[in-house]
Structure 1
Amino acid sequence: MAAAAAAMLGATALGTGALAEEPIKVGELNSYTRMAAFTDPYKKGWELALEEINAAGGVRGRPLEVISRDDDGKPADAVRIAEELVSEDEVVLLWGTFLSNIGLAVADFAAQREVLFVAAEPLSDAVTMEKGNPYTFRLRPSTGMQARMLAEVAAKLPAKRWATVAPNYAYGQDAVAKFKTALTALRPDVEFVGEQWPGLFKIDAAATVRALDAVEPEAIYNVTFGGDLAKFVREGQLRGLFKGRDVVSLLTGEPEYLLPLGAEAPEGWIVTGYPVEDLGDDPNHKPFLEAYQAKWGELPQLGSIVGYVTLKAVAAAIEKAESLETEDLVAAMENLTFDSPVGPVTFRDIDNQATLGAWVGRTALKDGRGVMVDWSYADGADYMASPEEVAATRPAE
């Protein structure tokens, strides 16, 4: 079934333009079954990008073909699929993935097999820092970058006693560590009085809420997402955990996680997210919004941006490269600058991290649903690890 779906997708790609040359094949993998709330709009985003790329003449005068596979949220499956894409489908590069443990597994595969991998969504800093390698590049701002964005706002709050809650895997661990470092650098008087580490998608919300309330924090840093976030929000509101307390929450402003909460969406949380309804007049964003709505009949979500921009980056690298050999593709990715719905984005050569930023604001209720208000766009270039930190953390190449 997966092979048939890939073949159908390839046929669709080739049908979008009158290109006669053999297609350039790129391999994409993601957790479509496990993380459908994010990956459905993500796929719609890259399908729009693919259509635009091929309608404009493809890359290097050839159509671009995406062979897409579902890793089912399992690192072992992702590595197996990556090998099949490279060995059997003969793709020139890999891109995609969502969960950080899967992104790290595919990054390790890319280093061993010496194939370019453009990580779309995995947020763990380790992807480009502790476990970074010359073949792996990352689009989205890392947990460290987003933590620094949030810490700037959190430092202005009166709260001194903080507690944290995060899923117990690479993304959550990085997000908490980076926030602590960033906030204490800005506010040496704060203290962290409690931590909760529920298993990914296995949160016991009642126990977690009770434990957080017991340490009497003045503010909470939350890193849960998806179904875990929904359970945490509902239980926390039921038990009054958030009453009189500031909450800083990574990713909660993303429509994929905010909209399912409906009227239960929290108000006043400081979040990173995507205020899509307010971006219609942005000259960079407007063409993307109009094209997406024309194709899909709905507003994009944050995943839509990630899928769209990642494939645009892949196409730009292929166009820039001297050949389709891996080393030339890697060289093309280093300091690659390309246009996006938020303006130019560059992949920095010292750590292979892109300068894509994030929107930071507060949550509010509007017509019975959660939205972002009082937001601003934080340019990722202003929140990246320093060259000294990269040199001290990233393995030598």
Structure 2
Amino acid sequence: MSKLDLSRRTVVGGLAATGVALTTGTGSAQGAPVKVGELNSYSRMAAFAVPYRNGMQLAVEQINAAGGLAGLGGRPLEIVFRDDGSTPGDAVRVAEELMTRENVSFIAGAFLSNVGLALADFANQKKVLYLATEPLTDALTMGSGNPYTFRVRPGTYMQTKMLVDAAKGKGVKRWAVVAPNYEYGQSAVAAFKRLMGAAVPGFEVVAEQFPALGRVDAGATVGALAQSRPDGIFNVLFGADLTAFVREGNTRGLFERRTVVSLLTGEPEYLLPLGDETPDGWIVTGYPPEQVETHGHQAFVTAYKAKFNDTPRLGSVLGYVVPFMIRDMFNKAKSTETAAMIEAFKGLTTQTICGPVTMRGIDQQSTLGAWVGETTLKGKLPTMKNFRYVDGADVMFPEAEVRAARKI
């Protein structure tokens, strides 16, 4: 028996209880494939986007091997992958090509928030479904939300609320913030000010730094933050910007005796490059793949390692979850018509390796959650400690606020 055969048997057995890798069909999928166009920053944001694509490919293989899309006569699911160029203009052009040349049923994906907003506007204008899988800006489901756009990942408000809930007990009042100067960073800082301001009496922001994405001047940024003498730091930098910031901050002692709350930093995509420079005790959202034991998660880890000879990242988890949501949507809709797909997504619950995920109808935001914990080193390996999974349903915008923002 091959390594891949063994892992597939393990996955099917381990996930049968959750329904993740099983459908009501029997045998392999048959017939013309149902195409979904997936466009993402595979070149510029490869650390997240490539594992995400890997996770999608693994899930699609399992769905098709288990009978395909039962609601569409057992047809196979096919994901058509394209690079979005990491710019709104390029992304819209690629989306148009996917719809007209590849005849996809709908579009999904995007990483950067400004790109996601552009695709949401495209979907609204063209009256096509857009499943925003990664963009985090709150505008996507709030003020700029539209009937054609759904979002999978917990947005900046949701993840920031998770962090504020974990950190507010420390009573830190004087904060400095640092974030990339585009929609995602600005949205996260706005959420932090609002939520921490409500949670901690006397809260104030004593310094703000908004470096350009991918072009942080770590020395100047760290120097400006240190000069303000904060008691806490809220960081939204990620990728190479995060690595440079941590290295310079460690050198200058910026993080010593300070509470640091850091969005996304616990994700292996961004945590592993820090190596033995990983600070201890930062409060973060992230993903500790070897430590998650619920919902058949380790069966997924085993299958992913067998197929890609690598440990899954947070992108891998998201990529794996999304096709099962798509499968369940098609099985409910029993159609590839846009109106039927939109109606099927509303209120849809999918059993996943993160637990049940429901697409809330009022804002078309899923209840997918995130792991919240602290950074640490296990030997020389960066990871998380004292973590727990926070259900997205517990940190969503209040419905009254959604109605006001979306004017419904």
Smaller-chain TM-score range? over 0.9
Q: Which residue of 2 aligns with 1:7?
A: none
Note the 1:191-206 alignment, pairs <5 A: 191-206=204-219
Equivalent position to 2:75, from 62, 67, 85: 62
C-alpha contact (below 8 Å) 1:337/1:345 kept by paired residues: yes
* 1:54-101: CA deviation from partner (whole Å, max 9, x where unpaired): 101111210111111011212111100000001111100111111111
Distance 1:18 1:320 in 2: 20
Distance 1:365 1:20 in 2: 47
Equivalent position to 2:277, from 253, 264, 272: 264
Q: Which residue type is aligned with residue 192 of structure 1?
A: V
Q: Which residue type is aligned with residue 395 of structure 2?
A: Y
Q: Which residue type is aligned with residue 42 of structure 1?
A: Y
- Aligned partner of residue 169 in structure 2, secondary structure: coil
Q: Which residue of 1 aligns with 2:322?
A: 310
Q: Which residue of 2 aligns with 1:22?
A: 32
Q: Which residue type is aligned with residue 23 of structure 1?
A: P
C-alpha contact (below 8 Å) 1:166/1:172 kept by paired residues: yes
Q: Which residue type is aligned with residue 77 of structure 1?
A: D
- Aligned partner of residue 347 in structure 1, secondary structure: strand
Q: CA deviation at 1:342?
A: 1.1
Distance 2:57 2:295 in 1: 22
Q: CA deviation at 1:286?
A: 2.5
- Is 1:381 aligned to residue 402 of structure 2? no
- Is 1:185 aligned to residue 195 of structure 2? no
Q: Which residue of 1 aligns with 2:307?
A: 295
- Aligned partner of residue 363 in structure 1, secondary structure: strand
Q: CA deviation at 1:18?
A: 4.5
Question: For structure 1, which runs of at least 5 residues remain unmatched after alignment?
Answer: 1-16
- Is 1:41 aligned to residue 51 of structure 2? yes
Q: Which residue type is aligned with residue 146 of structure 2?
A: N
- Is 1:360 aligned to residue 372 of structure 2? yes
Q: Which residue of 1 aligns with 2:349?
A: 337
Q: Which residue of 2 aligns with 1:9?
A: none
Distance 1:276 1:384 in 2: 25
- Is 1:346 aligned to residue 358 of structure 2? yes
Note the 1:316-331 alignment, pairs <5 A: 316-331=328-343
Moved over 3 A (4+): 17-20
Question: For structure 2, which runs of at least 5 residues remain unmatched after alignment?
Answer: 1-26
Q: Which residue of 2 aligns with 1:246?
A: 259
Distance 1:167 1:298 in 2: 29
Distance 1:303 1:165 in 2: 23
Equivalent position to 1:237, from 240, 250, 254: 250
Q: CA deviation at 1:265?
A: 1.0
- Aligned partner of residue 36 in structure 2, secondary structure: strand
C-alpha contact (below 8 Å) 2:173/2:201 kept by paired residues: no
- Is 1:166 aligned to residue 179 of structure 2? yes
Q: CA deviation at 1:297?
A: 2.4
Equivalent position to 1:77, from 90, 95, 101: 90
Q: Which residue of 2 aligns with 1:220?
A: 233
- Aligned partner of residue 205 in structure 2, secondary structure: strand
Q: Give the aligned length.
A: 379
Equivalent position to 1:372, from 375, 384, 388: 384
C-alpha contact (below 8 Å) 1:129/1:395 kept by paired residues: no
Distance 1:359 1:376 in 2: 5
Q: Which residue of 1 aligns with 2:222?
A: 209
Q: CA deviation at 1:360?
A: 0.4
C-alpha contact (below 8 Å) 2:136/2:153 kept by paired residues: yes
C-alpha contact (below 8 Å) 1:118/1:314 kept by paired residues: no
Distance 1:64 1:326 in 2: 17
* 1:164-198: CA deviation from partner (whole Å, max 9, x where unpaired): 00001111011011011111111122111111000
Q: Which residue type is aligned with residue 54 of structure 1?
A: N
C-alpha contact (below 8 Å) 1:132/1:395 kept by paired residues: no
- Aligned partner of residue 377 in structure 1, secondary structure: strand
Q: Which residue of 2 aligns with 1:131?
A: 144
Distance 2:202 2:30 in 1: 65
Distance 2:348 2:30 in 1: 28
- Is 1:145 aligned to residue 158 of structure 2? yes
C-alpha contact (below 8 Å) 1:222/1:249 kept by paired residues: yes
Q: Which residue type is aligned with residue 138 of structure 2?
A: D
Q: CA deviation at 1:344?
A: 0.7
Distance 1:19 1:215 in 2: 61
Distance 2:266 2:30 in 1: 44
Q: Which residue of 2 aligns with 1:107?
A: 120
Q: TM-score, normalised by structure 2?
A: 0.91
- Aligned partner of residue 145 in structure 2, secondary structure: coil
Distance 2:219 2:29 in 1: 57
C-alpha contact (below 8 Å) 2:120/2:149 kept by paired residues: yes
Q: Which residue of 2 aligns with 1:4?
A: none
- Aligned partner of residue 365 in structure 2, secondary structure: coil
- Aligned partner of residue 170 in structure 2, secondary structure: coil
Q: Which residue type is aligned with residue 376 of structure 1?
A: R
Q: Which residue type is aligned with residue 183 of structure 2?
A: A
Q: Which residue type is aligned with residue 197 of structure 1?
A: F
